C-alpha cells in the first residue's frame, strides 16, 4: 500500500507540473489557460476517486486561478468551494486517525472558504455566501472547534438578516455552539433573541409549522438553562421571569404551552421539573429525568444532565 501511494504521489507531481508548464509564457505563443483549467479539473476528479483529497484540492485551487485569469467568477468560486471541501476531507481523515499535524489542510480549507464567501459577497449573492459560512461553521463544530465556528455562524446570521427562517436557523447553530462551550448565559441570550425574532415574524398571528417548533425548542432550552443558572429574582429579566411563571403549576397558561404539539407528556413533566428544582428535591428530580429522557432530543438531554449535576452539587 505504501509503495502504491508513493507511485500515485510521484505521478501526481509529474502531471501537475506538465499542466502547469502550459501556463508559462513563451515567445509568440499565448498560454492556453482554458485547456490547463480543464486538465487540472480532470486531474482533481481522478485524484478524488483515489481519495487523495489534499492533492485534489490543490488541483481545484489551480482551476480557480485559471478561471480568475479568464474572468469567469462563477467557475472560479465553484472551484474554490470544491477545493475547500477536498481539504476538509483530508483534515477529517487526519482527525479521525489522530494523525499529528499542524492542521495545514484545515487552514487551507478555511482560506478557500473565505475567498469563496468574499466572491459571492462581491457578486451580491448573500444567500450563497451565507450557505458557505454555515458549511464552514458546521465543519469546524464537527472537528471540535465550536469557538472558531462561532465566527462564521455569526457571519452567516448577518448575511441572512433579510430571511427570518435562515436567520433563525443560524442563531440556533450559534446557541448550540455556546452550549458546547459551556456558555449557558450566552446560549440563553441567543434563545431569547430567537424567541423575539419568532414573535416579531409572526406579527401577532398564531404560530404554525417551523416557527412553532423553533419556539418550542427555545422555551425548553431556556427553561433548562434558567433552572441551572438559578438567577436571583432581582437579576432575572422579565421574559425569563415570565417563562418560569408560565411553567409553574399555578400558571393559568399551563395548557397553552408551545411544547404540547411536540410531546404532550412534557406539558406535565416540565412544570414538575420546575417544582423539583425550586424545592431542591433531588429524588423527584432523578425520577423526572428518567421520564423526560425519551421525550427530549440530544441537546435538551445534554442541558438536562447539566441541570441535574448542578442541583446535586448545590
Output the domain CATH number for residue 186: 1.25.40.10
212: enclosing H helix or E strand: helix 209-229
Q: Judge whether 112 lies within some domain.
A: yes
**Are both 84 and 141 inside the same structural domain?**
no
Of 206, 227, 262, the position where a domain reaches its end is: 206
**Are both 262 and 286 inside the same structural domain?**
yes
Q: Judge whether 134 lies within some domain.
A: yes
Q: Which pTM value belongs to this model?
A: 0.89
Q: Judge whether 76 lies within some domain.
A: yes
**Are both 199 and 148 inside the same structural domain?**
yes
Which of 156, 201, 196 is CA-nearest to residue 174?
Answer: 156
**Are both 40 and 115 inside the same structural domain?**
yes
305 close to 313: Cβ distance less than 8 angstroms: no
Number of domains in the chain: 3
10 close to 4: Cβ distance less than 8 angstroms: no
* b/e sequence 250-263, b meaning 16+ C-beta within 10 Å: ebeebeebbbeebb
Q: Judge whether 171 lies within some domain.
A: yes
**Are both 192 and 241 inside the same structural domain?**
no
pLDDT tens string, the chain, 314 residues long: the values are 333 343 355 688 899 999 998 888 766 578 889 999 999 999 999 999 999 999 999 999 999 999 999 999 999 999 999 999 999 999 999 999 988 889 999 999 999 999 999 999 999 999 999 999 999 999 999 999 999 999 999 999 999 999 999 999 999 999 999 999 999 999 999 999 999 999 888 777 777 788 888 999 999 999 999 999 988 766 788 989 999 988 886 655 554 555 554 566 788 899 999 999 999 999 999 999 999 999 999 999 999 999 999 999 97
Distance between CA 51 and CA 54 in Å, rounded?
A: 9
Place of cell 433548562: 224
Residue 58 structural domain: 33-95+103-123
| DSSP secondary structure letter of residue 26 | B
Amino acid at each position: 500500500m505504501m509503495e502504491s501511494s508513493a507511485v500515485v504521489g510521484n505521478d501526481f507531481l509529474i502531471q501537475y507540473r506538465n499542466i502547469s508548464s502550459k501556463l508559462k509564457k513563451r515567445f509568440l505563443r499565448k498560454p492556453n489557460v482554458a485547456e490547463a483549467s480543464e486538465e487540472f479539473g480532470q486531474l482533481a476528479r481522478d485524484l478524488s476517486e483515489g481519495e487523495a483529497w489534499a492533492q485534489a484540492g490543490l488541483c481545484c485551487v489551480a482551476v480557480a486561478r485559471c478561471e480568475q485569469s479568464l474572468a469567469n467568477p462563477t467557475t472560479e468560486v465553484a472551484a474554490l468551494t470544491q477545493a475547500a471541501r477536498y481539504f476538509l476531507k483530508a483534515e477529517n481523515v487526519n482527525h479521525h486517525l489522530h494523525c499529528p499535524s499542524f492542521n495545514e489542510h484545515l487552514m487551507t480549507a478555511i482560506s478557500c472558504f473565505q475567498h469563496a464567501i468574499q466572491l459571492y459577497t462581491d457578486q451580491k449573492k448573500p444567500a450563497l455566501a451565507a450557505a458557505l459560512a454555515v458549511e464552514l461553521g458546521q465543519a469546524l463544530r464537527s472537528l471540535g472547534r465550536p469557538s472558531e465556528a462561532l465566527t462564521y455562524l455569526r457571519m452567516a446570521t448577518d448575511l441572512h438578516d433579510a430571511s427570518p427562517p435562515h436567520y433563525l436557523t443560524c442563531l440556533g447553530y450559534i446557541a448550540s455552539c455556546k452550549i458546547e462551550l459551556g456558555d449557558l448565559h450566552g446560549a440563553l441570550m441567543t434563545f431569547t433573541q430567537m424567541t423575539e425574532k419568532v414573535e416579531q415574524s409572526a406579527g401577532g398571528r398564531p404560530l404554525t409549522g417551523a416557527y412553532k417548533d423553533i419556539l418550542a425548542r427555545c422555551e425548553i432550552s431556556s427553561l433548562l438553562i434558567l433552572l441551572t443558572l438559578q438567577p436571583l429574582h432581582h437579576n432575572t429579566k422579565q421574559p425569563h421571569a415570565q417563562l418560569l411563571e408560565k411553567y409553574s403549576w399555578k400558571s393559568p397558561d399551563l395548557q397553552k404551552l408551545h411544547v404540547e404539539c411536540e410531546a404532550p407528556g412534557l406539558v406535565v413533566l416540565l412544570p414538575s421539573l420546575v417544582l423539583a428544582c425550586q424545592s431542591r428535591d433531588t429524588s423527584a428530580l432523578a425520577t423526572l429525568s428518567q421520564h423526560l429522557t425519551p421525550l427530549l432530543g440530544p441537546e435538551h438531554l445534554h442541558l438536562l444532565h447539566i441541570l441535574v449535576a448542578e442541583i446535586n452539587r448545590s
